[in-house]
Amino acid sequence: MPDMEFSDKGKELLELYEAMARHGYERTDHARVEIAFSDFELRPYRESLRTCFRDYAVSSVLDYGCGGSDWKAKGFDEETRQSAVDYFGLDQAYRYEPARSIDERQPVDCVVSFDVLEHVFVSDVPHVIRDMLSYARKLLVLNVACYPAAAKLPNGENAHVTVRPPLWWKGMLDCIASEYPGVAILLICSTAWRTSSAFPIWSAAMWQLSDTFVVDL
């Protein structure tokens, strides 16, 4: 797999996230959060993702930018109390969280990344997307927030450092997808808290099989 290297500003930003993970952070409403990045961000999407995982016969997952997510802990699904691994019927779930020095990156059926890319310095976004795709054998599932965060960086800036509209993210992924034609991509863009919409799943291989030259969004 290619070795990903953050830019100098990306490295500085990662140090700020490491500090937030250790010490908590201030919010824009002046409240303080002591335990940072602890939510299992993909939980609200679990029902639709389970169907997607079944459609693509996903048995292994890499949670890229996992925060505090624990795929083996009971209670991921509130009704069944199953862990995420059991709920999705997975054989393995791996995690990557550079702010917590967790690095289990390896090839898997599906890479998932929720509430991550908007935290990446803009010039590092293409490198991070390529890194994600390099570990995905079948599917990449992304959720990107397209609005400012409630969290503030230790330097006072907003924690969503790269806020862009959904079509910007779709265009970025379209440009890179051709380098990984066998990987299907599901892009979910959130325009507000718990308000999101998804683009139809696509891959560069699908473009080549099309009867037309026009590729719709």
Q: Give tens-digit pLDDT for 68-108.
A: 899 999 999 999 999 999 999 999 999 999 999 999 999 99
pLDDT, tens only, 123-156: 999 999 999 999 999 999 999 999 999 999 999 9
Instruction: Tell me, yes or no, whether 217 lies in a domain.
Output: no
In a domain, 159, yes or no: yes
Question: For 36-40, 107-111, 139-143, which range has the lowest pLDDT when averaged over its residues?
Answer: 36-40
Looking at the domain assignment, is residue 1 inside a domain?
A: no
* 33 occurs within a structural domain: yes
Among 130, 7, 119, 10, smallest CA distance to 67 is for 119
Give me 34's structure tokens.
């002591």
Question: Is 3 inside a domain boundary?
Answer: no
Phi, psi torsion values for 196, nearest 5 degrees:
-150, 165
Residue 216, domain member (yes or no) = no
- Average pLDDT on 51-58 reads 98
φ and ψ at residue 103, rounded to 5 degrees:
-145, 95
The CATH number of the domain where 85 resides is what? 3.40.50
Q: For residue 214, what are its two tokens?
A: 């026009």
Q: Tell me how far apart the alpha carbons of residues 2 and 107 are, in angstroms, rounded to a whole number.
A: 12
Residue range of the domain that includes 30 = 8-209
CA–CA gap between residue 158 and residue 140 (Å, rounded): 27
Residue at 215 is within a domain: no
Say what percent of the chain tops pLDDT 90: 92
Strands 195-198 and 184-192, by their bridges, are antiparallel
31 class by beta-carbon count within 10 Å (0-12 exposed, 13-18 middle, 19+ buried):
exposed
Q: With respect to residue 120, please indicate whether it lies within any of the assigned structural domains.
A: yes
DSSP state for residue 179 in the 8-state scheme: T
- pLDDT of 2 > 60? The answer is no
**Encoded tokens for 100:** 């917590």
Instruction: Report the number of distinct structural domains present in the chain.
Output: 1
Contact status, residue 109 vs residue 58, Cβ threshold 8 Å? yes
